[in-house]
């Protein structure tokens, strides 16, 4: 499987911070004010040899519109010179969409310029296909929500352009919000690969750059584990435009790097007893013939039901950590997600209270509370060293996080039995 690439204009921001700045803030520093537009665009990392002056914006690299009035703000954010940059950017300067905003971006199709029937109407179908492709990337928090409202974060409209581009975006993300427009070219109403084109442009709306340039040529940052140039990426002009959605393993790796979805697999409980059922849900995925899921029992569980669906039930079989795996086949590419957030514990006798005393390494010694009257080993043996001191040794097959022993004692202050649980630290 060939590696792909995404890389991005400088910006990684503090998770969850919501921007409330104006979109038209300009940098007032003398140095920035003295720069002409071409120099600013060059410093932003774009290929100025492709620059076309279109009046209130510049068209660069064929499909990126840079609004003239926003150029100084782009450069200020790129350099980290604005208060907005300093507050919201964790350690790199530039532009992406915030992790709060990217989870709920509204997108609409202009009802005037994009017809509902006849020539040009299939741009609408292309937009819906592209939305579905982005929204179903496993493990990504990117969500484009289609709306028929009169306003949205992103508007898709249709206009004629003699420059020959299939489509373009209006500006790159500013103030942690996506690009405002995708403009499709009515010159290419008969173009067969509209959906692939819209998927490409939607990548620009959240900050992804062209991959037929190197990151250094665009002032970008290379995503770890991806090559400097990749002409098969969805963001390359040299890609196969007939593919839907056109993403591959490393494209999605890059999306995971910038826009990860936390808690992809959620569970109905965090603590159960052996023989109890645990329900797991894989979040943010709509299954189809091209997007499939396979569940696997990895440790201390067996699959009961739900194979092939986003909701599966497993039965706990032994004490320790329950570990399950979801394998997502996304248009022929496989992605593996695992969860081990459920602890299976032996139920306590009535009247006892569990107190976790942490991890104990093999061969280590520990003391038990004075007055303890019972010590029980499940996956370990204990050697009495005198007084209240013991040595612990694992039995074969002990696993990380497994409950390997308990110490029961009477607590005169609480007037109840206390059970101290010991967890395996397998190094």
- Same structural domain, 173 and 318: no
Could you give the CA distance from residue 359 to residue 335 in angstroms, rounded to a whole number? 32
Cα dist. 221→9, 224, 240 in Å?
7, 9, 24
Could you give the CA distance from residue 120 to residue 184 in angstroms, rounded to a whole number? 10
* pLDDT score, position 21: 29
Could you give the CA distance from residue 355 to residue 71 in angstroms, rounded to a whole number? 59
Mean pLDDT for all residues in the chain? 75
- Same structural domain, 366 and 337: no
Could you give the CA distance from residue 189 to residue 120 in angstroms, rounded to a whole number? 5
Q: Which run of H or of E encompasses 375?
A: strand 372-377
* pLDDT score, position 414: 54
Give the percent of the chain with pLDDT over 70.
67
- Same structural domain, 56 and 178: yes
Q: What's the pLDDT band for 6 if we cut at 50, 70, 90?
A: very low
Q: What's the pLDDT band for 412 if we cut at 50, 70, 90?
A: low
Could you give the CA distance from residue 221 to residue 66 in angstroms, rounded to a whole number? 20
**Overall average pLDDT of the 320-341 stretch:** 90
> Which domain does 365 fall in, by range?
352-425
Has residue 228 got a pLDDT over 60? yes
- Same structural domain, 152 and 276: no
Q: What's the pLDDT band for 69 if we cut at 50, 70, 90?
A: confident
pTM of the full predicted structure?
0.68
- Same structural domain, 66 and 140: yes
- Same structural domain, 129 and 39: yes
**Overall average pLDDT of the 410-415 stretch:** 55
- Same structural domain, 185 and 320: no
Alpha helices in 116-193 (DSSP H): 122-135
* pLDDT score, position 146: 98
What tokens appear for 5 in the block?
A: 């690439």
- Same structural domain, 209 and 232: yes
On whether the CB atoms of residues 342 and 277 are closer than 8 A, the answer is no
Q: Which of 65, 89, 84, 66 is nearest to 27 (CA)?
A: 84
What tokens appear for 350 in the block?
A: 């009535």
Could you give the CA distance from residue 65 to residue 59 in angstroms, rounded to a whole number? 5
- Of 30-44, 135-149, 270-284, the one with minimum mean pLDDT is 30-44
- Where on the phi/psi map is residue 227: left (φ > 0), alpha (ψ -120 to 50), or beta? beta
- Same structural domain, 208 and 357: no
Q: What's the pLDDT band for 152 if we cut at 50, 70, 90?
A: very high
Examine the fold and report which residue of 240, 258, 276 is the final residue of a domain before the chain moves on. Answer: 258
On whether the CB atoms of residues 47 and 41 are closer than 8 A, the answer is no
* pLDDT score, position 76: 76
- The count of structural domains within the chain is 3
The total number of residues shown for the chain amounts to 427
Residue 163 lies in a domain: yes
Residue 2 lies in a domain: no
The CATH code of the domain that includes 367 is: 2.60.40
* pLDDT score, position 251: 83
Examine the fold and report which residue of 232, 258, 284 is the final residue of a domain before the chain moves on. Answer: 258
Top-confidence residue, 153 or 89:
153
- Same structural domain, 146 and 64: yes
Examine the fold and report which residue of 309, 344, 379 is the final residue of a domain before the chain moves on. Answer: 344
Cα dist. 300→47, 230, 241, 266 in Å?
55, 42, 45, 17
Residue 1 lies in a domain: no
Top-confidence residue, 193 or 257:
193
The CATH code of the domain that includes 284 is: 2.60.40.10
**Overall average pLDDT of the 44-71 stretch:** 85
- Same structural domain, 368 and 304: no
Alpha helices in 121-267 (DSSP H): 122-135, 194-205, 249-258
- Same structural domain, 46 and 84: yes
The CATH code of the domain that includes 213 is: 3.40.390.10
pLDDT digits (tens, 9 = 90+) for 265-313: 999 988 888 899 999 999 888 999 999 999 999 999 999 999 999 999 9
């Amino acid at each position: 499987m060939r590696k792909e690439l995404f890389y991005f204009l400088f910006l990684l921001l503090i998770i969850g911070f919501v921007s409330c700045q104006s979109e038209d803030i300009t940098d007032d520093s003398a140095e920035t004010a003295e720069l002409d537009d071409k120099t600013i665009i060059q410093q932003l990392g774009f290929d100025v040899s492709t620059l076309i002056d279109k009046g209130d914006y510049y068209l660069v690299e064929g499909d990126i519109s840079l609004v003239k009035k926003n150029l100084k703000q782009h450069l200020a954010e790129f350099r980290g010179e604005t208060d907005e940059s300093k507050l919201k950017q964790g350690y790199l300067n530039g532009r992406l969409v915030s992790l709060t905003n990217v989870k709920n971006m509204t997108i609409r199709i202009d009802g005037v310029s994009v017809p509902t029937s006849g020539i040009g109407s299939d741009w609408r179908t292309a937009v819906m296909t592209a939305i579905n492709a982005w929204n179903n990337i496993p493990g990504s928090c990117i969500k484009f929500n289609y709306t028929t409202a009169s306003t949205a974060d992103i508007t898709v409209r249709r206009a004629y352009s003699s420059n020959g581009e299939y489509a373009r975006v209006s500006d790159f993300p500013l103030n942690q919000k996506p690009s405002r427009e995708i403009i499709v070219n009515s010159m290419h109403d008969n173009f067969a690969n509209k959906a692939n084109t819209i998927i490409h442009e939607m990548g620009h709306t959240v900050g992804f750059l062209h991959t037929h340039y190197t990151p250094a040529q665009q002032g970008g940052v290379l995503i770890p584990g991806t090559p400097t140039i990749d002409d098969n990426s969805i963001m390359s002009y040299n890609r196969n435009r007939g593919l839907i959605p056109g993403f591959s393993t490393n494209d999605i790796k890059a999306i995971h790097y910038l826009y990860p979805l936390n808690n992809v697999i959620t569970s109905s409980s965090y603590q159960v007893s052996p023989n109890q059922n645990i329900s797991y849900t894989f979040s943010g995925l709509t299954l189809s013939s091209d997007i499939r899921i396979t569940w696997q029992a990895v440790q201390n569980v067996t699959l009961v039901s739900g194979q092939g669906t986003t909701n599966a039930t497993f039965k706990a079989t032994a004490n320790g950590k329950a570990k399950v795996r979801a394998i997502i086949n996304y248009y022929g590419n496989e992605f593996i997600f695992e969860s081990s957030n459920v602890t299976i514990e032996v139920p306590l006798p009535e009247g006892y209270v569990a107190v976790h005393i942490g991890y104990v390494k093999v061969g280590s010694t520990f003391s038990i509370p004075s007055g303890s009257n019972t010590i029980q080993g499940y996956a370990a043996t204990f050697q009495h060293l005198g007084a209240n001191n013991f040595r612990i040794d694992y039995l074969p097959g002990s696993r990380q996080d497994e409950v390997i022993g308990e110490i029961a004692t009477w607590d005169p202050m609480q007037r109840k039995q206390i059970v101290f649980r010991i967890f395996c630290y397998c190094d």
